[in-house]
A and B are shown apart, each in its own frame.
Chain A
Amino acid sequence: MQFMLLFSRQGKLRLQKWYVPLSDKEKKKITRELVQTVLARKPKMCSFLEWRDLKIVYKRYASLYFCCAIEDQDNELITLEIIHRYVELLDKYFGSVCELDIIFNFEKAYFILDEFLLGGEAQETSKKNVLKAIEQADLLQENQSEDWGGLAAEEVL
């Protein structure tokens, strides 16, 4: 996989993950083009399209589009299920995940993605194992958070 983008129906980018080195300018250009292309497609159309020399696999979940760019020899259907598994992971972690969860807890969305996919390839496909890793990390931070927990409330105000 070369990159993964999450964007809203309004075209707002919510998460971006690049597995190939590209300049910021190029990333912006790709994002702009792809968001436009995908948003212009009708609901019943197929989830795959050719774009430049890549294959785009996308799927919409409520207000969010999940969009992956894969290479010629990669498998479209399994990529579609990569997207689904990622949504399942987010859903399980946040409990009925919605777009807002991903906006505010973007760091968690990234951490979960890193546990699931690394370097553009599936690292761990077991839902249990991925969530275990994230929960362990959360545990680490719970233990450490006591000393500044009070500050957080102040900052929110």
Chain B
Amino acid sequence: MLVVFPVVFLVLVHFPPSTFVNLGLQASDSPPDHTPTFPECLSLFGHSHWAALPQSTKHLHSNSQCPSGLVLISGWVLSAGKSKEAEIKRINKELANIRSKFKGDKALDGYSKKKYVCKLLFIFLLGHDIDFGHMEAVNLLSSNKYTEKQIGYLFISVLVNSNSELIRLINNAIKNDLASRNPTFMCLALHCIANVGSREMAEAFAGEIPRILVAGDTMDSVKQSAALCLLRLYKTSPDLVLMGEWTSRVVHLLNDQHMGVVTAAISLITCLSQKNPDEFKTCVSLAVSRLSRIVSSASTDLQDYTYYFVPAPWLSCKLLRLLQCYPPPEDGAVKGRLVECLETILNKAQEPPKSKKVQHSNAKNAILFEAISLIIHYDSEPNLLVRACNQLGQFLQHRETNLRYLALESMCTLASSEFSHEAVKTHIETVINALKTERDVSVRQRAADLLYAMCDRSNAKQIVAEMLSYLETADYSIREEMVLKVAILAEKYAVDYSWYVDTILNLIRIAGDYVSEEVWYRVIQIVINRDDVQGYAAKTVFEALQAPACHENMVKVGGYILGEFGNLIAGDPRSSPLVQFNLLHSKFHLCSVPTRALLLSAYIKFINLFPETKATIQEVLRCDSQIRNSDVELQQRAVEYLKLSSIASTDVLATVLEEMPPFPERESSILAKLKKKKGPGAVSVSDLDEGKRDGGGELNGAGERGPESSVVSTPSPSADLLGLRSAPPVGSAAQGAGSLLVDVFSEAGPLAPASGVNDDGFLRFVCKNNGVLFENQLLQIGIKSEYRQNLGRMYLFYGNKTSVQFVNFTSTVSVALISFITKPVDPLVEGGAQLQQVLNIECLSDFSDAPLLNIRFRYGGALQNLTLKLPLTINKFFQPTEMGSQDFFQRWKQLSLPQQEAQKIFKANHSMDKEVLKAKLLGLGMALLENVDPNPENFVCAGVVQTKAQQVGCLLRLEPNIQAQMYRLTLRSSKDTVSKRLCDLLAEQF
């Protein structure tokens, strides 16, 4: 005991008091989301800080509960919590110690090995990187001591390393344990496979595990692990898991006596059914009868599988989920039994609760919601649908926030069924009330979604009005989506277009900042296409513009509409041409460059519409602030419009400045935008979902998609409009069209994962723009590219090196934070011929991952599939910035936050010749600044990354050390991701 005390002391001193508080299960009467503050806990749970201590330390010193040695280090670690540096220092010391033990001459015994591996794990779990110890962990796997093996497996599960050498060793150890016939060892091995789930493991074990799963002599616990292990492997590598002959035996696990086995197996069966519904369709009747037995059982029948008086809630939910993979059963008896189950579940919801505990109601309602999902999925039983709707209606006013949230969510799907749409609509007042009074923004969001879903012609005006009034106080996080929804509803259900115009102008007035380009483009498209609303629109924008402060988007719409249709209201002396012009021009100086450019175009249109304004407008155009404007675009417009108005005859002017022709009708680009917003928000999200990705891979399957679906050729509606806006010389259409195109791409399904992404060529293009990106025996891909500000144009040349035709040739680019417009490539590439593709590029925001270029074609009958990293890196959008030494250092100091800096020290891989380095740095796109660094051997550069979203200033310093053949590279920028990315890219260049 003497030994123990100092440790206890350490622990005591260094942990925040809350770590001693028990998690509150004993105090089961306290409501679930009652989250007490610390002093409150003391009285609630009857544990004082000190009283809890023996409990929390009780395991630390029993001989095996805690890996020895851990206490000391963790005491230290947590004590250092006050200062991050001290913690890191302490950890590094510990890591150095462990490293030396592992490297030491003396071979470590299993116990010490386990101890140190466990310490490493602990350090990792505190959030530090661990880059060694894998070998020692693998050694532990083959120990015959259970605890050593267990820690070894845990380390591998938490810290897998794709090092192929190790994977082989790990697989070997797993193989031995699977063959050991010791159920505990077998389970450990299966857990490890399920936790790691790598392709190598699938290759090694996908054949063996189904056999273990269905073998008659396998223990129940092993079966359970085997089923879920197989599920995980199937999710990673569906091609390797072949059920084949085992299918029917796996399905029959649904009949297993052991509820645990059924619970585990059903997850596997559900996943397999989704992919191969036909092979597994016998599971439907088995699932129905299992469900029926559970639903009709008394709460005590299932013993430990009853949870707070609810029989087998997890299994019930999974059964109902499995049934959602199939249409309603065709067999009348099975269907009757199922409908009976669903009715029983709905009935039970009305019974008084068997317990007041929230666990009881949660478990019961979990089943209820799953049953409602099934009813909605079938969408064929009007009676059940309406009952479901009524049930959800009750939940809409429940005191549990969770239930209100789920009811709103679930009703959204009910609203789309023809049987229940009307029933859902009866709850409109409750939902509107929720939108106004719910305190949790996520619940309000659900209410807004539901209003959107239940909207139709009969209630559109009410719903739109409510949403508009909600917008005035809505949370910033959901405003943009609300704006899109209002815009869509207004358009979709507009009976008279003056209401539509009013609504959109209101939107701009209330939430102008959140009105995206798509929204105001759309209102203009509609006004141009419908002549019955043009006069009203002109009058309304004219009135809106009279507000002393109006949003820039309003100026844009106003400028455009008055430029086109100002004549329709010019008869009224209060809105005479000159009044209109003066009104617009009064906003001019407050606007950004693109809006000014639009206004200049409106002015020239005025000259055509109202000859009497010509002199005034010419005077405006002629003044220095226009004709000598520092912005090239504005200057050019002013000069050209002035010239045009002076030399062109009235006829020519009238032809050139004719009213815009109607836009071709097509799906609203706003809808596309909303879909995009609902979809994965960031590039990385798609990585989260391996399963979906696999599906995408199949969708993209060989030659099934014509070139039309993979490449976008339709001109965007907004492109026409953009003619009026600042039109940069390259890729003028790219700006507004971006999001529409992105959506088209995403609907085409996610691209097949980088099945061996080829990035050899990629790094060679960081500092240059032209060259050969890829070459093999069949194909050569050359690239020429040019960039200006945040825009770029890339020419891809596909050369067929063979004498045979390539057919079904397609090339697609994955879209990240960059938008593309591509022209479709010809599906045939003749032997020896070269095909050219142009990509117009716009950088929307800074990005790290290069877009992927996927090329597919058939050569001879064989499908060729090639994925390359497109050499498009953030530095392409650099604009060089010249500055003096003083300026540079001042800015350097301003960017001194740790996250703003990225630094690497690395060995030289190429010539360190000064001229070579200079050439590379110039190719990078930044300005190379002379006489700035006091040391003439060093290089410093400055530049601004231009993206649509923002501009990111960057400073670079490269310090060569010729003797050591090393470099130190430092990047500072206002955005951490940019510094990091540039540093990573450049470290490969020198």
Instruction: Identify the A interface with B (CB < 8 A).
Output: 2, 8-10, 13-16, 19-24, 26, 29, 42-50, 52-54, 59-64, 71, 73, 75-78, 80-82, 84-85, 87-88, 90-91, 94-101, 103-108, 110-111, 114, 118-129, 133, 136-138, 140-142, 144-145, 148-149, 151-153, 155-157
Contact = CB atoms under 8 A, between A and B. Distances in A.
B231 interface: yes
A41 to B, nearest CB: 8
Binding site of B, secondary structure by majority: helix, strand, loop or mixed? Answer: helix
Nearest to B685: A52
A48 B682 contact: no
Contacts of A14: 125
B802 interface: no
Contact of A99 (B19, B191, B363, B439): B19
B33 A119 contact: no
Nearest to A76: B406
B33 A47 contact: yes
A152 B72 contact: no
Interface of B: 3-4, 6-7, 11, 15-16, 18-26, 32-36, 41, 47, 52, 55-61, 63-72, 74, 78, 111, 115, 118, 121-122, 125, 127, 129, 145-147, 150-151, 154, 157-158, 184, 187, 190-191, 194-195, 197-198, 221, 224-225, 228-229, 231-232, 235-236, 259-260, 263-264, 267, 303-305, 307, 312-315, 317-318, 321, 324, 359, 362-363, 365-366, 369-370, 401-402, 404-406, 439-440, 442-443, 445, 679-682, 684-685, 687-690
Contacts of B225: 118, 123
Given A2-B688, A98-B20, A44 B118 contact: no
A105 B66 contact: yes
Nearest to A138: B64
A145 B150 contact: no
Contacts of B36: 62
A45 B401 contact: yes
Contacts of B52: 96, 98
Given A47-B33, A152-B68, A125 B365 contact: no
Contact of B145 (A10, A107, A144): A144
B629 to A, nearest CB: 43
Given A156-B61, A156-B71, A77 B366 contact: yes
B260 A124 contact: yes
A112 B680 CA distance: 33
A88 B680 CA distance: 35
Contact of A77 (B63, B121, B264, B406): B406
Contacts of B184: 136-137, 140
Contacts of A26: 684, 687
B439 A78 contact: no
A76 B402 contact: yes
Contacts of B684: 26, 29
Contacts of B151: 107
B260 A155 contact: no
A53 B688 contact: yes
Contacts of A22: 687-688
Contacts of B315: 125
A33 to B, nearest CB: 10
A140 B443 CA distance: 49
Contacts of A100: 11, 15, 19-20, 56-57
B206 to A, nearest CB: 14
B228 A155 contact: no
When A and B form their complex, which 6 residue pairs have the shortest distance between CB atoms, in order from nearest?
Answer: A63-B18, A77-B366, A119-B232, A121-B267, A61-B23, A155-B68
A155 B191 contact: no
A45 B221 CA distance: 38
Nearest to B70: A104
Given A45-B440, A81-B363, A129-B304, A94 B59 contact: yes
Nearest to A9: B18
A38 to B, nearest CB: 12
B405 A118 contact: no
B688 A62 contact: no
A125 B260 contact: yes
Given A20-B688, A125-B305, A52 B680 contact: yes
A71 B67 CA distance: 36
Given A43-B35, A141-B147, 18 more contacts: A22-B688, A26-B684, A46-B443, A53-B688, A75-B366, A77-B369, A80-B362, A81-B359, A94-B55, A99-B21, A99-B23, A107-B150, A121-B264, A124-B221, A127-B304, A133-B187, A140-B146, A155-B69
Contact of B681 (A13, A52, A62): A52
A29 B848 CA distance: 14
Contacts of A77: 362-363, 365-366, 369, 402, 406
A44 to B, nearest CB: 7
Given A8-B18, A63-B18, A46 B23 contact: no
B52 to A, nearest CB: 6
B645 to A, nearest CB: 52
A10 B16 contact: yes
Contacts of B157: 110
A71 B690 CA distance: 12
Given A119-B231, A126-B304, A155-B69, A13 B127 contact: yes
A99 B681 CA distance: 34
A52 B687 CA distance: 12
Nearest to A80: B362
A145 to B, nearest CB: 5
19 contacts: A8-B18, A15-B125, A46-B405, A46-B442, A60-B33, A61-B25, A62-B21, A77-B369, A78-B370, A87-B23, A95-B58, A98-B22, A98-B23, A98-B55, A104-B59, A118-B191, A122-B314, A125-B260, A155-B69
B264 A78 contact: no
Contacts of B690: 20-21
A122 B469 CA distance: 45
A129 B260 contact: yes
A48 B441 CA distance: 11
Contact of A19 (B69, B232, B317, B365): B232
Contacts of B191: 114, 118
Contacts of A24: 129
Contacts of B122: 106
A145 B64 contact: yes
A124 B261 CA distance: 8
Contacts of A62: 18, 21-24, 35-36, 41
Contact of B307 (A85, A123, A144, A156): A85
A59 B366 contact: no
Contacts of B303: 126
B260 A48 contact: no
B23 A90 contact: yes
A46 B401 contact: yes
A88 B308 CA distance: 12
Contacts of A9: 18
Given A98-B52, A122-B314, A53 B59 contact: no
A70 to B, nearest CB: 12
A48 B402 contact: yes
A91 B4 CA distance: 24
Given A49-B442, A78-B363, A91 B304 contact: no
Q: Which of A48, A71, A121 has the most CB of B within 10 A?
A: A121
Contacts of A133: 187, 221
A24 B130 CA distance: 11
Given A126-B260, A156-B4, A137 B150 contact: yes
A25 B21 CA distance: 32
Contact of A122 (B55, B145, B236, B267): B267
B307 A81 contact: yes
A148 to B, nearest CB: 5
B406 A60 contact: no
Contacts of B685: 52-53
A13 B125 contact: yes
Contacts of A10: 16
Contacts of A111: 150, 154
Given A52-B685, A106-B125, A121-B231, A114 B59 contact: no
